[in-house]
Structure 1
Amino acid sequence: MSKLTPKLVKETSAPGTYQDGRGLFLKISASGTKSWVFRYSFQGDRRDMGLGSFPAVSLRDARLAADKARLELAQGIDPLGKRHQLQHEARTKRRKGTTFKTEAELFLRTHAPSWSPRHAVQWRNSLGTHVYPRIGELPVEQVDTDQVLDVLAPIWSTTPVTATRVRNRIEL
């Protein structure tokens, strides 16, 4: 039997856990954020699956999501495991066919803000000069040891420090 009401969910602000029943509860943090959690057991392990935050996910929607998860459990499917598998497949599908240059630029956008401006420029210059002309347009899954050696061979004997840095940057 459900215990929560839309009015109670909206008006309650005290930190804590508020049970709706059958594994669904509203969790209110010390900062006042509210989120829905479905707690269940699968193969002897207790699992907590987030269903979203309130008010983006209403009480009604949280109950429907919990019902869907209960149905999957009844079919022998771990709902959280299924979610993780779908997320992994989506990431893999999105990246399949992505070029090396695209992934490298994503890496730079993510990490460069924490670097000094000079270091970021060195990264961009070394990739632009040595790496992108040879393997920049190749899909990431096609880059192998031979392609990396083709990038490094011309600079290894003349500037070994640069070659070492370029190799490290390709790996990262």
Structure 2
Amino acid sequence: MKFLTVMTFCLLCLLPVAAQDTSPAPQGGEAQYFVAAGAGFNRYADKQASGWLTFGARIAPGLYTYSLLTMTDQTSTIGQGFMKVLIRQDGFTLSALGDAGVAAGEGAVGSAFAGGGSLNYDISRWTKVPKTWVTATVKVAKTTLGEAQPVFCFGFGKSF
């Protein structure tokens, strides 16, 4: 089951590339692609900690599409979503996001939905690696396998 989930995620990663914006150059230094990974915390879940990985592409100025894989030791969720940049200022980026996908675990498969916000901070001046950032995300996730629950995520990313 984990192999099938990983393969599906790899195929979904191709969707943002196929749907990318065809404008000649990103405006205002806006990134064309990004990758990020980190950990999530859900206080109400049986397994409170999770790991996540995402890949995204810009489809319009300030609008991105992304593929997301979230896994615990018993469940996995794979989805496709959109992120809208609301404001950029002094190295901070505030975004709204939402995604939908498939959740699988403990012998059951169902749908998964999430929506929330993300705050990124550019850490390039400390890492000496261009376009690196730290992210904190708060979202409400709902699957057909369980109730709607708040999820807190923290991670690192790289734009290119």
Q: Which TM-score tier does this pair reach, normalised by the shorter chain?
A: under 0.3
More strand by share: 2
* Structure of higher RCO (CA pairs closer than 8 Å, 6+ residues apart): 2
Calculate the TM-score normalised by the size of structure 1: 0.24
Calculate the TM-score normalised by the size of structure 2: 0.25
**Structure ID, larger Rg:** 1
